[in-house]
């Protein structure tokens, strides 16, 4: 059967689960028989480099570059991404055409029932500057050590005692059917911009694919993550910059954006929030970014470029 649509995806178990979910949503929305949407597995730089923290590897687009190449060459119609892993600045030639309904936005703590109950001085595995800073802010006695690898690998590192605990996104665990860990509420542990959102990107000039993807776009999710990404763009961080942002659409359709910036060691933190009506989200996100950078100490401001 000639596929109606070819989706580019990374080949990790989580990426494949997300790509299958996207394919099924498209087949359902368009009344296509199962199998009409094909997957094209792509190995990215981020997948290839497993022995170093990615913040150290540097460079942008570690999870997207190779997927973008297939897309721009016309080998695929669209790429399926974890929105969290997509840089906030994207090439003009590409457009985020759809977001699937957002899953559980929280991080889960694996290996302990709460942050307070981790043994004093213990080592927690995470390679995320955000999670490291948020952890050390609340528990400065702990050690953070970098761990890489897919979800199963990270769970194993806790199970075999290499680290006392780690963090994983609830969304990823749920998509893999893994019922582990204790959720951390956003008020205490604000997630990454775009967390728990599956984003589908295509060529900006491919109006046929854009129309097909529009049918599965979940507008409230798209609106929320766009605001989070506008904030991330405006603060101008890199992969070293501890930044968290979460937007929710409230009952009155207004958007509520919370965000925080931290110093690397979590000793300093600036946090704030803003509400915005439809059409005002981007300006509100930029204003919040300017406000937080304006009152951030040097330890934070030096990690961001948007001041």
Ligand X SMILES: NCc1[nH]cc(CCC(=O)O)c1CC(=O)O
| Catalytic positions | 85
State the chain's maximal CA–CA distance in angstroms: 59
- In terms of CB distance, is 68 or 85 closer to ligand X? 85
Binding mask 147-176 for ligand X (x = CB under 6 A): ---------------------xx-xx----
- In terms of CB distance, is 185 or 252 closer to ligand X? 185
Q: How far is the CB of 17 from ligand X (least distance, A)?
A: 10
The CA distance from 206 to 183, in Å, is: 40
Find the binder of ligand X among 76, 82, 209, 241 (CB under 6 A).
82
Residue 49: count of CB within 10 angstroms of its CB = 15
Binding mask 178-217 for ligand X (x = CB under 6 A): -----------------xxx--------------------
Q: Terminus-to-terminus CA distance in the chain, angstroms? A: 53
Contacts 24+ apart (CB under 8 A), 60-64: 60/87, 60/239, 61/87, 62/239, 63/10
Q: How far is the CB of 207 from ligand X (least distance, A)?
A: 27
- In terms of CB distance, is 3 or 149 closer to ligand X? 149
Residue 249: count of CB within 10 angstroms of its CB = 16
- In terms of CB distance, is 154 or 301 closer to ligand X? 154
Binding residues with ligand X: total (CB under 6 A): 10
Q: Which residues bind ligand X (CB under 6 A)?
A: 82, 84-85, 168-169, 171-172, 195-197
């Amino acid at each position: 059967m000639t596929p109606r649509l070819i989706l580019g995806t990374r080949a990790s178990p989580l990426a494949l689960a997300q790509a299958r979910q996207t394919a099924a949503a498209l087949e359902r929305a368009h009344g296509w028989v199962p199998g009409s949407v094909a997957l094209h597995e792509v190995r990215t730089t981020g997948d290839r480099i497993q022995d170093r923290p990615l913040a150290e590897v540097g460079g942008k687009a570690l999870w997207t570059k190779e997927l973008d190449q297939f897309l721009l060459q016309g080998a695929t119609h669209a790429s399926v991404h974890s929105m969290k892993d997509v840089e906030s600045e994207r090439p003009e030639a590409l457009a985020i055409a759809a977001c699937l309904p957002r899953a559980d936005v929280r991080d889960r703590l694996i290996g302990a029932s709460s942050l307070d109950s981790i043994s004093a001085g213990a080592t927690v595995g995470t390679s995320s500057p955000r999670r490291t800073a948020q952890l050390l802010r609340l528990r400065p006695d702990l050690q953070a050590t970098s761990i890489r690898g897919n979800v199963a690998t990270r769970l194993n590192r806790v199970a075999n005692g290499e680290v006392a605990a780690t963090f994983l996104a609830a969304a990823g665990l749920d998509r893999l059917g893994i019922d582990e860990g204790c959720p951390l509420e956003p008020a205490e542990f604000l997630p990454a911009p775009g967390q728990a959102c599956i984003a589908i990107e295509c060529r900006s000039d491919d109006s046929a694919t854009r129309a097909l993807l529009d049918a599965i776009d979940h507008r409230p999710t798209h609106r929320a993550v766009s605001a989070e990404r506008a904030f991330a763009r405006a603060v101008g961080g890199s992969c070293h910059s501890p930044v968290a942002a979460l937007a929710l659409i409230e009952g009155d359709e207004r958007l509520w954006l919370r965000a925080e910036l931290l110093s690397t060691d979590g000793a300093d933190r600036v946090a704030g929030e803003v509400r915005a009506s439809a059409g005002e989200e981007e300006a509100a996100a930029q204003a919040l970014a300017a406000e937080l950078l304006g009152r951030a100490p040097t330890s934070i401001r030096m990690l961001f470029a948007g001041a």
